[in-house]
Structure 1
Amino acid sequence: MAGKELLSASFVRSAPVGKHCDGAGLWLHKRKDGGAQWVLRVTIHGKRREMGLGSFNDVSLKNARGLADHWRSIAKRGIDPIKQREREAREAKRADNTFEAIALEAFEAKKPELKGDGKAGRWLSPLENHVFPKLGKIPVAQLDQRDVKDALAPIWHSKADTARKALNRISIVLRHAAAHDLDVDLQVTEKAKLLLGKTRHTPKNIPALHWTKVPSFYQSLTEPSVTNLAMRLLILTGVRSHPLRFINLDQIDGDVWTIPSDSMKGLKGKTSEFRVPLSLEALKVIDLSKPFQKKGFLFPSTRKGVISDGTLAGLMKRQGHDERPHGFRSSLRTWLAEATDAPNEVCETILQHVSGSSVERAYRRTDFLEQRRQLMERWSEHLLGKSGQVVRLLEAN
């Protein structure tokens, strides 16, 4: 038992069921079904470990002895051979890691930070549409600024915002690769920007109706359809499309609608819910919407889920408007600035914007609910054509 090479090739071929030792911890385990497995027993840090070396059909006696010698030498250095083999397998796998593979891995790691775990797919889309087709198969360690420049050049000026997002995603992927000890150049995106030059694209604001014209549009939505009611509540509350479309009855308590944190647009570090005060007109719209609800969702789609952004945009287009539904947030913000004396921090909170420094926000323990309630009631009166005067914000009790 203490010696080595106790078995022979002929014995291995005809070995009976059981465990047969070749010496120095190498064993052949013969099974009842006729199969057999090479197993190496080693002691590491005072604990015995059994390490499979493969099937005797795939690994000859000679090769099994060679593998056993190799892993025994690893164990003698105080290294767990099983963990070492797993480590080498990971490194071998990463040796030819492509940009696309690392990007998908980075996306998985980033999902908890994204709204709805990134299910909408918008985080990946700039890469899928403009980067993966050209750079996806390149090993990430070989990626350089010329590769990135060539991939983004076709959209650098024509689709500047998409190109900017793609560049940002590439930077995140490279940092993820670096965290795995891959030899990547973290300056690739900055170098690529220098090669691409300054974009000629001029950002355009989302078209919005002037606040003085919003009442006539609002009052045109007389038919109590799902789309009209959703548009009315969107205008009345000033929220973004996503939480509006996914509003559920269980989020409403009296005259307050509480938007869950995962429906809030990605404000870094924001994990809290957001309370929306509901005006009398907003409560009326919600009551009119209740007969349409499915599983509590007030604005269900005729097919599946809830209505889409395109449904709301289509409504405006059919009425001959170039403006977008999201633009009503701008209409509301301009009304707040021009027709009220509300403080900036209250106005910004209405739109779920972060205002002030991090220190100011840390000490500000209010969401201005009562002040916002007054303003949103007056906004609804404006929409109904009941008020043309400047709104004076009353002090909250």
Structure 2
Amino acid sequence: MPTLHKLTAKKVEKADPGKYSDGGGLWLFKRPDGGAQWVLRVTVHGRRREMGLGNLTEVSLREARDAADKWRAVVRDGKDPIKERERIKREAARADNTLKAVAEEAFEARKAELKGDGKAGRWFSPLEIHVLPKIGKVPVEEIDQRDIKDALAPIWHTKADTARKAMNRLSIVMRHAAAMGLDVDVQATEKAKALLGKSRHEAQNIPALPWQEVPNFYKSLSDGTVTHLALRLLILTAARSLPVRFCRLDEIDGNVWTIPAKNMKGRKGQVEDFRVPLSEEALAVIEQAKPLARDGYLFPSVRRGVISDATMSRLMERRPMDARPHGFRSSFRTWCAEATDTPEQIAEITLAHVAGSKVERAYRRTDYLEQRRVLMERWAGFVKGGTGEVLQMVRA
């Protein structure tokens, strides 16, 4: 049996440049420049292999001996210690590349495209809530269509929109993993869709108040509270809830309210500031709300920040009403179609919808502010109790 532990800590420290055996194939190589390396020499399948065990500055004599014992045992099992170490490293790397880790990295990479750098978490939440608790710890390279199917099956037919978003996010994560050089199945989500089948869930539109009933509801918002005033401005401008709730005094210049791009629906970098013409009634509502403003926000909450969308929704729910705040955009659009002769392009741009083909939008250099101003004055007149008679518009 070969002699082991020939070296001592003192000899290791004082040794001149050269090669020094500790026995059992463990060697210390000292270089003239002062550096030193531990090397294990073994014979595997009749072939000699040299395996580095680390620098002397990082690995002590005792640690080198422990490592040598470990890898000699691997040799006794008939395995190549160098290949076995590489295999262990690969498995460790795979463990680090769990679906959760890669999903978080993909989210970070996309934040610049998302509103507010994705701080609201809406992009990530479908994964965080419905996917990662089930398969987040699985290495992304092992994810297949069956894993995805099992994760999303419980909501595929009951929460179709959320399931669709989760599937879309998963597809992005898988492509991100492929870009990282990982061996993933980028078609796994499409295969999962085939396994899940067509969703039986029918999308439900947000309930809207019939346009003929809007004046009576508007009249009932008469107590001058933040919630009543916010709802009034939302109705008068046909704007979405978010820009109304986060409306700042410095966004209003005369009779124009400029909604910053960050508060508009759409991807960051793909939307622009949007000008809203303010009717005389809308300006009156703003003047009434100014004394209630705080920190520059026109519609502050009781404690801090701004009122929530739920605050306005609950007011309508308590009435009780099926309609919700976002539905007033539909009320306005239907009024345009049924009670006016408004050109479709004007009506759609008023709602900040994308109107016209890509080529048409590229050549269009106007937002039809003045045409929209006429329309919004007519809408305000109707909302305040007008007749809703047909409005003859000059086509743009």
Q: Same fold (TM over 0.5)?
A: yes
Equivalence for 2:324: 324
Equivalence for 1:48: none
Whether the 8 Å CA contact 2:262–2:268 is kept in 1: the answer is no
Equivalence for 1:184: 184
Equivalence for 2:348: 348
Whether the 8 Å CA contact 1:116–1:263 is kept in 2: the answer is no
1:267–1:211 distance in 2 versus 1, CA, 3 Å: farther
Whether the 8 Å CA contact 1:378–1:387 is kept in 2: the answer is no
1:148–1:9 distance in 2 versus 1, CA, 3 Å: same
The DSSP-based 3-state class of the residue aligned with 2:122 is: coil
Q: What is the CA distance between 1:56 and its match in structure 2?
A: 3.4
Alpha-carbon distance in 2 for matches of 1:24, 1:144 = 54
Q: 1:204 and 2:204 equivalent?
A: yes
Q: What is the CA distance between 1:268 and its match in structure 2?
A: 7.6
> Which region of structure 1 is more displaced relative to structure 2, 259-268 or 216-225?
259-268
Whether the 8 Å CA contact 1:234–1:244 is kept in 2: the answer is yes
Give structure 2 stretches of 5+ with no counterpart: 1-6, 16-28, 38-53, 68-88
Counterpart amino acid of residue 249 in structure 1: L
Give structure 1 stretches of 5+ with no counterpart: 1-6, 16-20, 29-37, 39-52, 67-88
1:62–1:206 distance in 2 versus 1, CA, 3 Å: closer
Q: What is the CA distance between 1:25 and its match in structure 2?
A: 4.1
Q: What is the CA distance between 1:11 and its match in structure 2?
A: 5.8
Percent of residue pairs identical: 61
Counterpart amino acid of residue 379 in structure 1: W
Equivalence for 1:380: 380
Equivalence for 1:241: 241
Equivalence for 1:103: 103
Counterpart amino acid of residue 249 in structure 2: L
Q: What is the CA distance between 1:266 and its match in structure 2?
A: 1.4
RMSD: 2.7
The DSSP-based 3-state class of the residue aligned with 1:123 is: coil
Counterpart amino acid of residue 160 in structure 2: A
Length-normalised TM-score, structure 1: 0.79
Whether the 8 Å CA contact 2:261–2:273 is kept in 1: the answer is yes
1:125-169 alpha-carbon deviations (Å, 9 max, x no partner): 111111011110010010000001111111111111111111111
Equivalence for 2:223: 223
Q: What is the CA distance between 1:113 and its match in structure 2?
A: 1.4
1:158–1:11 distance in 2 versus 1, CA, 3 Å: same
The DSSP-based 3-state class of the residue aligned with 1:212 is: helix
Number of residues of Structure 1 aligned to a counterpart in Structure 2: 340
Whether the 8 Å CA contact 2:265–2:271 is kept in 1: the answer is no
Q: What is the CA distance between 1:105 and its match in structure 2?
A: 0.8
Whether the 8 Å CA contact 1:292–1:299 is kept in 2: the answer is yes
The DSSP-based 3-state class of the residue aligned with 2:275 is: strand
Equivalence for 2:31: 23
Q: What is the CA distance between 1:27 and its match in structure 2?
A: 3.6
Q: What is the CA distance between 1:388 and its match in structure 2?
A: 2.6
Alpha-carbon distance in 1 for matches of 2:91, 2:370 = 58
1:94–1:228 distance in 2 versus 1, CA, 3 Å: same
Whether the 8 Å CA contact 1:177–1:184 is kept in 2: the answer is yes
Q: What is the CA distance between 1:61 and its match in structure 2?
A: 10
Whether the 8 Å CA contact 2:113–2:267 is kept in 1: the answer is no
Q: What is the CA distance between 1:117 and its match in structure 2?
A: 1.5
